[in-house]
Protein backbone atom coordinates (compact mmCIF):
# COMPACT_ATOMS: atom_id res chain seq x y z
CA UNK A 1 0.00 0.00 0.00
CA UNK A 2 2.85 2.39 -0.63
CA UNK A 3 1.02 2.55 -3.96
CA UNK A 4 -0.29 6.02 -4.62
CA UNK A 5 -3.87 6.94 -5.01
CA UNK A 6 -4.89 6.55 -8.64
CA UNK A 7 -6.51 9.97 -9.00
CA UNK A 8 -3.71 12.31 -8.02
CA UNK A 9 -4.28 14.96 -10.63
CA UNK A 10 -1.21 16.98 -9.65
CA UNK A 11 1.02 13.94 -9.50
CA UNK A 12 4.58 14.81 -8.63
CA UNK A 13 4.21 18.43 -9.60
CA UNK A 14 7.25 20.14 -8.08
CA UNK A 15 6.46 22.68 -5.41
CA UNK A 16 7.44 26.14 -6.71
CA UNK A 17 9.26 27.14 -3.51
CA UNK A 18 10.86 23.79 -2.63
CA UNK A 19 12.56 21.64 -5.29
CA UNK A 20 12.60 18.67 -2.87
CA UNK A 21 8.83 18.72 -2.52
CA UNK A 22 5.95 17.65 -4.70
CA UNK A 23 2.33 18.70 -4.68
CA UNK A 24 0.00 15.72 -4.95
CA UNK A 25 -3.77 15.80 -5.32
CA UNK A 26 -6.04 13.30 -3.55
CA UNK A 27 -9.78 12.63 -3.47
CA UNK A 28 -10.03 13.60 -7.13
CA UNK A 29 -8.61 17.02 -6.40
CA UNK A 30 -10.53 17.52 -3.13
CA UNK A 31 -7.28 18.34 -1.38
CA UNK A 32 -3.57 18.37 -2.07
CA UNK A 33 -0.47 17.66 -0.03
CA UNK A 34 2.96 19.22 -0.18
CA UNK A 35 5.24 16.25 0.48
CA UNK A 36 8.93 15.45 0.50
CA UNK A 37 10.00 14.01 -2.85
CA UNK A 38 12.33 11.53 -1.09
CA UNK A 39 13.23 10.48 2.42
CA UNK A 40 10.21 11.48 4.47
CA UNK A 41 6.94 9.57 4.56
CA UNK A 42 4.79 9.99 1.47
CA UNK A 43 1.08 9.50 1.94
CA UNK A 44 -0.85 6.97 -0.06
CA UNK A 45 -3.82 4.68 0.15
CA UNK A 46 -3.33 3.88 3.84
CA UNK A 47 -4.28 7.44 4.72
CA UNK A 48 -7.38 7.43 2.52
CA UNK A 49 -8.54 4.03 3.82
CA UNK A 50 -8.13 5.22 7.41
CA UNK A 51 -10.01 8.47 6.75
CA UNK A 52 -12.88 6.37 5.38
CA UNK A 53 -13.35 4.95 8.91
CA UNK A 54 -14.95 8.28 9.87
CA UNK A 55 -18.64 8.45 8.93
CA UNK A 56 -19.32 11.15 6.35
CA UNK A 57 -21.84 12.82 8.66
CA UNK A 58 -19.39 13.06 11.55
CA UNK A 59 -19.42 16.45 13.23
CA UNK A 60 -16.99 17.47 15.93
CA UNK A 61 -13.26 17.60 16.46
CA UNK A 62 -11.03 15.00 14.83
CA UNK A 63 -7.37 14.72 15.76
CA UNK A 64 -4.81 13.18 13.40
CA UNK A 65 -2.00 11.62 15.51
CA UNK A 66 1.34 11.55 13.71
CA UNK A 67 -0.14 13.50 10.82
CA UNK A 68 2.93 13.82 8.61
CA UNK A 69 2.05 16.19 5.77
CA UNK A 70 -1.60 15.90 6.81
CA UNK A 71 -3.08 13.24 4.51
CA UNK A 72 -5.48 11.62 6.98
CA UNK A 73 -6.63 14.93 8.48
CA UNK A 74 -7.20 16.58 5.11
CA UNK A 75 -9.05 13.51 3.87
CA UNK A 76 -11.36 13.66 6.91
CA UNK A 77 -11.91 17.39 6.43
CA UNK A 78 -12.83 16.78 2.78
CA UNK A 79 -15.15 13.87 3.55
CA UNK A 80 -16.82 15.43 6.59
CA UNK A 81 -17.98 19.00 6.01
CA UNK A 82 -18.95 19.39 9.68
CA UNK A 83 -15.62 18.24 11.12
CA UNK A 84 -12.79 20.36 12.44
CA UNK A 85 -9.39 18.71 12.29
CA UNK A 86 -6.22 19.05 14.32
CA UNK A 87 -3.04 17.67 12.75
CA UNK A 88 -0.46 16.61 15.35
CA UNK A 89 3.10 15.92 14.18
CA UNK A 90 6.28 15.78 16.26
CA UNK A 91 8.84 16.13 13.46
CA UNK A 92 9.42 19.83 12.68
CA UNK A 93 10.45 18.81 9.17
CA UNK A 94 7.19 16.94 8.46
CA UNK A 95 5.18 19.63 10.29
CA UNK A 96 6.69 22.12 7.85
CA UNK A 97 5.19 20.10 4.99
CA UNK A 98 1.84 20.07 6.79
CA UNK A 99 2.13 23.85 7.19
CA UNK A 100 2.79 24.22 3.47
CA UNK A 101 -0.13 21.93 2.70
CA UNK A 102 -2.35 24.13 4.86
CA UNK A 103 -1.16 27.23 3.04
CA UNK A 104 -1.62 25.76 -0.44
CA UNK A 105 -4.24 27.66 -2.47
CA UNK A 106 -5.92 24.39 -3.54
CA UNK A 107 -6.75 23.72 0.13
CA UNK A 108 -8.15 27.20 0.76
CA UNK A 109 -11.70 25.91 1.20
CA UNK A 110 -10.57 23.51 3.95
CA UNK A 111 -7.98 25.63 5.74
CA UNK A 112 -10.41 27.27 8.15
CA UNK A 113 -11.31 23.83 9.58
CA UNK A 114 -7.78 22.38 9.77
CA UNK A 115 -5.08 23.38 12.24
CA UNK A 116 -1.60 22.11 13.14
CA UNK A 117 0.11 21.31 16.43
CA UNK A 118 3.78 20.33 16.64
CA UNK A 119 3.83 17.82 19.47
CA UNK A 120 4.69 14.21 20.30
CA UNK A 121 1.47 12.25 20.81
CA UNK A 122 3.39 9.63 22.83
CA UNK A 123 3.78 12.09 25.73
CA UNK A 124 1.84 11.20 28.87
CA UNK A 125 0.01 13.12 31.56
CA UNK A 126 0.84 16.78 32.13
CA UNK A 127 3.51 16.82 29.44
CA UNK A 128 0.86 15.92 26.90
CA UNK A 129 -1.55 18.61 28.08
CA UNK A 130 1.32 21.11 28.23
CA UNK A 131 2.18 20.26 24.64
CA UNK A 132 -1.32 21.32 23.61
CA UNK A 133 -3.26 18.03 23.70
CA UNK A 134 -5.93 18.68 26.30
CA UNK A 135 -7.84 15.86 27.93
CA UNK A 136 -11.39 15.26 26.67
CA UNK A 137 -11.00 17.70 23.82
CA UNK A 138 -11.63 15.40 20.83
CA UNK A 139 -14.45 13.37 19.32
CA UNK A 140 -12.39 11.21 16.99
CA UNK A 141 -8.70 10.30 17.02
CA UNK A 142 -7.08 8.87 13.90
CA UNK A 143 -3.67 7.28 13.75
CA UNK A 144 -1.57 5.95 10.91
CA UNK A 145 1.52 5.25 12.98
CA UNK A 146 4.93 4.40 11.52
CA UNK A 147 5.09 0.70 10.62
CA UNK A 148 8.81 0.31 10.87
CA UNK A 149 11.05 1.80 13.49
CA UNK A 150 14.17 0.91 11.52
CA UNK A 151 14.73 4.54 10.61
CA UNK A 152 15.06 5.35 14.28
CA UNK A 153 17.25 2.32 14.79
CA UNK A 154 19.65 3.33 12.05
CA UNK A 155 20.29 6.82 13.32
CA UNK A 156 23.20 7.44 15.69
CA UNK A 157 21.30 10.23 17.44
CA UNK A 158 20.68 9.06 21.03
CA UNK A 159 17.34 10.86 21.22
CA UNK A 160 16.23 8.92 18.17
CA UNK A 161 17.44 5.69 19.72
CA UNK A 162 15.24 6.50 22.68
CA UNK A 163 12.43 6.99 20.22
CA UNK A 164 13.06 3.49 18.93
CA UNK A 165 12.91 1.99 22.39
CA UNK A 166 9.62 3.80 22.77
CA UNK A 167 8.56 2.15 19.52
CA UNK A 168 8.14 -1.16 21.32
CA UNK A 169 5.33 0.43 23.30
CA UNK A 170 4.03 2.63 20.51
CA UNK A 171 0.45 1.32 20.43
CA UNK A 172 0.28 1.45 24.20
CA UNK A 173 1.57 5.05 24.25
CA UNK A 174 -0.53 6.32 21.38
CA UNK A 175 -3.74 4.62 22.50
CA UNK A 176 -3.24 5.84 26.08
CA UNK A 177 -2.98 9.37 24.68
CA UNK A 178 -6.00 8.83 22.45
CA UNK A 179 -8.03 7.63 25.44
CA UNK A 180 -7.04 10.74 27.42
CA UNK A 181 -7.72 13.20 24.60
CA UNK A 182 -11.12 11.75 23.66
CA UNK A 183 -14.41 12.69 25.21
CA UNK A 184 -16.50 9.82 26.61
CA UNK A 185 -17.93 7.77 23.70
CA UNK A 186 -15.39 9.36 21.37
CA UNK A 187 -13.86 7.04 18.83
CA UNK A 188 -10.42 6.03 17.73
CA UNK A 189 -9.47 4.50 14.39
CA UNK A 190 -6.06 3.29 13.29
CA UNK A 191 -4.46 1.52 10.38
CA UNK A 192 -1.64 -0.92 11.02
CA UNK A 193 -0.11 -4.20 9.93
CA UNK A 194 -1.93 -7.41 10.93
CA UNK A 195 1.26 -8.35 12.79
CA UNK A 196 0.40 -5.67 15.36
CA UNK A 197 -3.08 -7.01 16.10
CA UNK A 198 -2.26 -8.53 19.49
CA UNK A 199 -0.50 -5.37 20.71
CA UNK A 200 -3.37 -3.19 19.53
CA UNK A 201 -6.10 -5.25 21.21
CA UNK A 202 -4.03 -5.46 24.36
CA UNK A 203 -3.48 -1.67 24.44
CA UNK A 204 -7.20 -1.06 23.88
CA UNK A 205 -8.22 -3.24 26.81
CA UNK A 206 -9.86 -1.25 29.56
CA UNK A 207 -9.78 1.93 27.45
CA UNK A 208 -11.81 1.16 24.35
CA UNK A 209 -14.54 -1.33 23.57
CA UNK A 210 -16.58 -2.59 20.65
CA UNK A 211 -13.49 -2.83 18.44
CA UNK A 212 -14.40 -3.27 14.77
CA UNK A 213 -11.74 -4.65 12.46
CA UNK A 214 -11.66 -4.36 8.67
CA UNK A 215 -8.89 -6.42 7.08
CA UNK A 216 -7.41 -4.87 3.92
CA UNK A 217 -6.21 -7.37 1.30
CA UNK A 218 -4.47 -6.71 -2.04
CA UNK A 219 -7.07 -9.06 -3.55
CA UNK A 220 -9.52 -11.80 -2.52
CA UNK A 221 -6.89 -14.56 -2.46
CA UNK A 222 -4.03 -12.83 -0.59
CA UNK A 223 -3.42 -12.34 3.11
CA UNK A 224 -4.30 -8.99 4.62
CA UNK A 225 -1.59 -6.33 4.42
CA UNK A 226 -3.35 -3.89 6.72
CA UNK A 227 -6.04 -3.82 9.35
CA UNK A 228 -8.22 -0.86 10.23
CA UNK A 229 -9.38 -1.01 13.84
CA UNK A 230 -12.06 1.33 15.14
CA UNK A 231 -13.26 1.40 18.76
CA UNK A 232 -15.17 3.54 21.22
CA UNK A 233 -13.81 5.17 24.36
CA UNK A 234 -15.27 3.58 27.49
CA UNK A 235 -17.54 1.17 25.61
CA UNK A 236 -17.83 -2.50 26.51
CA UNK A 237 -18.65 -4.71 23.51
CA UNK A 238 -16.45 -7.41 21.99
CA UNK A 239 -14.27 -7.44 18.93
CA UNK A 240 -16.02 -7.85 15.59
CA UNK A 241 -14.46 -8.66 12.25
CA UNK A 242 -16.13 -6.89 9.35
CA UNK A 243 -16.30 -7.68 5.67
CA UNK A 244 -12.79 -7.25 4.24
CA UNK A 245 -11.68 -4.56 1.81
CA UNK A 246 -10.11 -6.05 -1.30
CA UNK A 247 -8.07 -3.40 -3.11
CA UNK A 248 -7.84 -5.03 -6.53
CA UNK A 249 -9.86 -7.27 -8.77
CA UNK A 250 -8.10 -10.54 -9.38
CA UNK A 251 -8.92 -10.72 -13.06
CA UNK A 252 -7.20 -7.53 -14.19
CA UNK A 253 -5.62 -5.94 -11.11
CA UNK A 254 -7.85 -2.87 -11.41
CA UNK A 255 -9.10 -1.26 -8.21
CA UNK A 256 -12.30 -2.77 -6.88
CA UNK A 257 -15.28 -0.42 -6.89
CA UNK A 258 -15.02 0.07 -3.12
CA UNK A 259 -11.28 0.84 -3.24
CA UNK A 260 -11.92 3.26 -6.09
CA UNK A 261 -14.66 5.00 -4.12
CA UNK A 262 -12.44 5.24 -1.04
CA UNK A 263 -9.66 6.76 -3.12
CA UNK A 264 -12.15 9.29 -4.39
CA UNK A 265 -13.33 10.14 -0.86
CA UNK A 266 -16.81 8.89 -1.69
CA UNK A 267 -17.19 5.76 0.47
CA UNK A 268 -17.18 4.75 4.11
CA UNK A 269 -15.19 1.76 5.24
CA UNK A 270 -17.86 0.73 7.76
CA UNK A 271 -21.56 0.45 7.13
CA UNK A 272 -22.69 3.40 9.22
Q: Which is nearer to a copy of itself, 115 or 196 (CB)?
A: 196
DSSP 122-160: T--HHHHHHTT--TT-EEEEEE---S-THHHHH---HHH
13: burial class by Cβ within 10 Å (0-12, 13-18, 19+)? middle
Query: Smallest distance, Å, CB 241 to a copy of itself?
Result: 4
- For residue 67, give the 3-state DSSP assignment: coil
Instruction: Compute the least distance from the CB of residue 223 to a copy of itself, in Å.
Output: 5
- Least Å from the CB of residue 233 to a copy of itself: 17
Q: Which is nearer to a copy of itself, 47 or 213 (CB)?
A: 213
Sequence-distant (≥ 6) Cβ neighbours of residue 118 within 8 angstroms: 88, 89, 90, 92, 95
Specify the residue, 46 or 120, whose C-beta has the smaller distance to a copy of itself.
46
Report the distance separating Cα 170 and Cα 176, nearest Å: 10
Q: How far is the CB of 3 from a copy of itself (least distance, A)?
A: 19
Give the residue with the Cβ less far from a copy of itself, 155 or 240: 240
Smallest gap from Cβ 194 to a copy of itself, in A, equals 4
Give 208's strand partners. 233
CB closer to a copy of itself, 13 vs 258: 258
Cβ atoms of residues 121 and 88 within 8 Å: yes
Query: Site residues (CB under 8 A) for a copy of itself?
Result: 193-198, 201-202, 205, 211, 213, 215, 217, 220-224, 227, 238-244
**Minimal distance, residue 168 CB to a copy of itself, in Å:** 14
Establish how many alpha carbons lie within 13 A of residue 141's alpha carbon, considering only the half-sphere containing its beta carbon. 30
One-character DSSP codes across 164-212: HHHHTTHHHHHHHHHHHHEEEEEEEEEEE-GGGHHHHHHHHTTTEEEEE
Given the complex with a copy of itself, which of 13 and 224 has the nearer CB atom? Answer: 224
Q: Which of 232, 242, 135, 128 is nearest to 188 (CA)?
A: 232
Q: Which of 74, 11, 1 is nearest to 44 (CA)?
A: 1
Q: Which is nearer to a copy of itself, 27 or 233 (CB)?
A: 233
Residue 217: CB minimum distance to a copy of itself, A: 7
Burial of 266 (0-12, 13-18, 19+ CB in 10 A): middle
Amino acid sequence: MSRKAPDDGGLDAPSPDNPNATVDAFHRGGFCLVQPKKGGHRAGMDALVLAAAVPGDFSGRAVDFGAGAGAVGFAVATRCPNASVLLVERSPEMADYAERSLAHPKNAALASRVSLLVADVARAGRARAAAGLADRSADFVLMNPPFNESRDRATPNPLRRDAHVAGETMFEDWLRSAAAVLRPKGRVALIARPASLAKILSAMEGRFGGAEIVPVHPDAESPAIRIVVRATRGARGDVSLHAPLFLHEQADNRFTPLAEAINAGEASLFMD
